[in-house]
Chain A
Amino acid sequence: MSILVIAEHDNAALKAATLNTVTAATQLGEDIAVLVAGHNCGAVAEAAAQVTGVKKVLIADAPHYAHQLAENMAALVVGLASGYTHILAPATAAGKNTLPRVAALLDVAQISDVIKIDSADTFIRPIYAGNVLATVQSKDSIKVMTVRGTAFPAATATGGSAAIETVAPATDAGVSSFVGQQLTQSDRPELTAARIIVSGGRGMGNGDNFKLLEDVADKLGAAVGASRAAVDAGFVPNDYQVGQTGKVVAPTLYVAVGISGAIQHLAGMKDSKVIVAINKDEEAPIFQVADYGLVADLFAAVPELSKELDKLKAAG
């Protein structure tokens, strides 16, 4: 087995999802290389080389990799593919953008959102919004797959000492270019990396009321999320969305406030360790998956929760 992991990064730092993907790779074999493709991304390669389990880091540094456009990334990965039995990327927006392109150019299937590795060619992945799990076997010579981060623990970011090898960039395909980006500015942790998440649904009523959740989130060091209903209603931006069509999360504690618990939302958070639901409708489906349910008006309960957290903190 020889495994290539495509690193996710922003040219400055290695993204946490890469560490989960390395863990998935270690379940396939020991010969693990990480590809860092970017521009002025030397620091990322250094970081990848220290990840426990990584044997080799390949760095492709060129201006046309700065934003990791799928067209250019795929050409690069395909050029390197022949030496590997498995090519893995995190099942993030970036991984999902690039990897099917790689698979098609190699004329192999891609396996999406792998949550368990049964053997070198057999994997488990969720279908139908996670209501059903499919065990699939690949007949292809190279297995190309995206890995769901929440299903694998993060590899240790230090302790490794992999060699860093420079690979020649492929030519710029020249058909696409980066125009700009608007990233949500927040001091809170990222949803997919947060230990605690406080999420709001349609019951929040409007975007301003999310301030109530932000207050509680800041006291808990938590990220703020939302259901699709809250996003569709325009309360918060789409990148807050937890669910099958948004982000799939599995924090230690998930607090669902004013969220009814539609199938599509449950699919995105049901693997959380502890789930709390606060909803005034005691029939809401969210209570069927909650470890602790509180039937209450959120506009009274959330400020009270904030005060109780203060008390807890004061008590030390």
Chain B
Amino acid sequence: MKILVAVKRVVDYNVKVRAKADGTGVETANVKMSMNPFDEIAVEEAIRLQEAGKAKEIVAISLGVTACQDTIRTALAMGADRGILVETDAELQPLAVAKLLKAAVEKEKPDLVILGKQAIDDDANQTGQMLAALLGWPQGTFASKVELGDGTVNVTREIDGGLETVALKLPALVTTDLRLNEPRFVKLPNIMKAKKKPLEVLKPADLGVDVAPRLVTLKVQEPPKRQAGIKVGSVAELVDKLHNEAHVI
């Protein structure tokens, strides 16, 4: 079995993001970039399936600027076997990403595709579902457990009131939620080894995909700041304020 894992280069989750003064986007100059945390979970899950003897090859794919090679190298250092970068400076929206990934899937023919449920920059939570739709594949989104069977995969999903398990026929697509696993730390020798693993670079045109954006971002701004209130001295004062001042209890 072959697994394709999609990884995105995003602003590191510890960075406090700020809107540019002219409202055209967010400040990304000199900002630390990392692999999207949900995608790390996706890579980890693929590696665990490989370590359990259930998967043979893991291919990590990223789409975007040249520096996305770093993100792919991180996936390779974690344990993926080889990488693919679809290189472009163009703005890629989820539908375009899904179309590029579809072309890659048709080329690579994996049995399972694993992606993070959402990227922590645009917070779209769309790409996996869109890719599954374009492929006509079943999807197990927001996964907290993945159990491979014979020609099927059972995915336990985080839903609003608890958990739901669905059975999907392979080939299938899984998007990861937080509790699926805890990604491993990359060890230095593995970073060295990852540099020698193959990394193929393609262009969107090679895959015959039109990546033109469908949404125009007119403005990016920070929301109004919430003001800090007051400190109270005791629980009794707190209850009094909530009852007599805020009228909420």
Q: Which residues of A contact B (CB under 8 A)?
A: 67, 69-71, 74, 92-94, 96-105, 107-113, 122, 126-140, 173-184, 190, 192, 196, 220, 228, 231-232, 237-239, 244-245, 247, 252-253, 263-264, 270, 273-276, 282, 287-296, 301, 304-305, 308-309, 311-312
Contact = CB atoms under 8 A, between A and B. Distances in A.
B229 A292 contact: yes
A301 B161 contact: no
B188 interface: no
Nearest to A305: B235
Contacts of A74: 133
B41 to A, nearest CB: 11
A288 B216 CA distance: 34
A101 B124 contact: no
A175 B139 CA distance: 9
The secondary structure that dominates the B interface is mixed
A292 B123 contact: no
B246 A101 contact: no
Contact of A309 (B122, B136, B159, B239): B239
B120 interface: yes
Contact of B235 (A104, A129, A301): A301
B215 A136 contact: yes
B125 A295 contact: no
Interface stretch (B58-66, B67-75, B164-172): B164-172
The secondary structure that dominates the A interface is mixed
Contacts, number: 257
Q: Which 6 pairs show the lowest CB-CB distances between chains A and B?
A: A291-B229, A104-B130, A100-B129, A109-B214, A100-B126, A176-B138
Interface in B82-128: 93-95, 98, 120-128
Given A93-B159, A132-B220, 11 more contacts: A74-B133, A92-B160, A96-B141, A97-B141, A183-B162, A245-B178, A247-B160, A289-B228, A290-B229, A292-B229, A308-B236
Given A179-B154, A294-B238, A132 B222 contact: yes
Contacts of B160: 92-94, 190, 192, 239, 247
Contacts of A135: 217-221
B27 to A, nearest CB: 10
Contacts of A107: 95
A238 B242 contact: no
Size bin of chain B's contact surface: 35 or more
B231 A294 contact: yes
A18 to B, nearest CB: 13
B123 to A, nearest CB: 5
A292 B134 contact: no
Contact of B130 (A101, A130, A305): A101
Contacts of B242: 253, 274, 276, 292
B192 interface: no
Nearest to B228: A288
A138 B16 contact: no
B223 A133 contact: yes
Interface in B204-227: 214-223, 226
B26 A139 contact: no
Given A128-B120, A308-B236, A104 B98 contact: yes
22 contacts: A70-B141, A71-B138, A93-B157, A100-B128, A104-B133, A105-B134, A108-B95, A110-B95, A127-B121, A175-B172, A190-B160, A245-B177, A252-B248, A253-B242, A275-B229, A292-B230, A292-B231, A292-B232, A292-B246, A293-B229, A308-B236, A312-B239
